[in-house]
Amino acid sequence: MATDTRTRAERGAVLPSPVVLLSIVAVALAAIAFVATRGDGPAERDISATKAAATPTATADASDAATDPATTPTEEEKPAPPPVVRGDHTVVVFNNTAIRGLAGRVSEKVEAAGWKVGATDNWYGTVPATTVYFPKGKKAVAQQLALDLGIARVLPADTDSDMSDTNLTVILTGELD
């Protein structure tokens, strides 16, 4: 049996595997990309919220309002969109799962939130996630419905399908939280 008579300094250093080095670099790059691309704002917001701070108070003296530039409205401020009147819009709810009665249960939630339900039925096709589809000009209304139901996905209605061109369409791919 041969023994290695070299000293430790003569044998050299053992370097880590290239796979380990590449893994460390990949994790570092992923962490940098995650921090660089995340947003500072909340993921969801109430679209009917108004700017309370932008409106002048009614208790301000008329002479103060005329001389105080902070209370005069600027041309850059846009008026807040009118709040969504839920009862003015009809919602059609489709079940795209094997869960019996899901569209009916969700339509009850829709009505409880103040919306009108036009119909419930099964949807035959492939939808990747529960979605609120909206016809042209009703994006803000669809966002409010999605907010009311806790649905994250809102898309324009597919004109090549049987979706309504006047009503909001909810296609369910699972139970709502």
**Angle at which helices 102-112 and 139-149 cross, to 10°:** 110
Bridge partners of residue 93, in order along the sequence:
120, 170
Alpha-carbon Rg for the chain, nearest whole angstrom, is: 29
Q: Is the pTM of this model over 0.75?
A: no
What distance in Å separates the CA atoms of residue 172 and residue 131, rounded to the nearest whole number?
7
CATH class of 86-172: alpha beta
- pLDDT values of the chain reduced to their tens digit, one per residue, 177 residues: 566 677 766 666 667 788 888 889 999 998 888 888 775 544 444 443 333 434 444 444 444 444 555 555 555 677 777 788 888 999 999 999 999 999 999 999 999 999 999 999 999 888 999 999 999 999 999 999 999 999 999 999 987 887 888 999 999 999 997
Which residues have CB under 8 Å from 120's CB, separation 6+?
A: 92, 93, 94, 95, 103, 104, 107
Between strands 131-134 and 153-156, the pairing is parallel
Q: Where along the chain do its domains lie?
A: 86-172
| Best CA proximity match to 117, nearest among 108, 125, 126 | 108
Bridge partners of residue 168, in order along the sequence:
91
